[in-house]
Amino acid sequence: MFEQDNQKIVRSASGDKLLAREKGYEEFTKADEKEFAYAKSWWKEQQSYWATVRRAWDDVFAQKETVSLKSNLNGKVLFEKLFDLGDQSVKENVTQIKAAKKHVR
């Protein structure tokens, strides 16, 4: 059992404004490990690629305080493009840093 007691605050130059309060309880049930076999296998293949994506984003934010993203590229939103590149990276065994930086920036 987990008790939530959170406040969502909008901060601005004129001060803080309470936007919402969250209160409640959440109950968690331990799942069978077998249900996660596919996800664990997927992550084992993909974790290097996603580490590269995180490093690429770190580079972007180190250079710019604010970034703006296009809502889609060739009909796909960013997460779809990143997942496609991850699959491509595993299938083609391409250098992950080149694939990530080419499409993230």
Using an 8 Å Cβ cutoff, are 19 and 10 in contact? yes
Look up the pTM and report it: 0.57
What's the mean pLDDT when you consider all of the chain?
86
| pLDDT tens for each residue of 29-75 | 999 999 999 999 999 999 988 998 899 989 999 998 888 888 888 88
pLDDT at 10: 95
- pLDDT beyond 70 at 101: no
Distance from C-alpha of 22 to C-alpha of 33, rounded to nearest angstrom: 31
Single-letter amino acid, residue 76: K
Q: In 10 A of CB 56, how many CB atoms?
A: 20
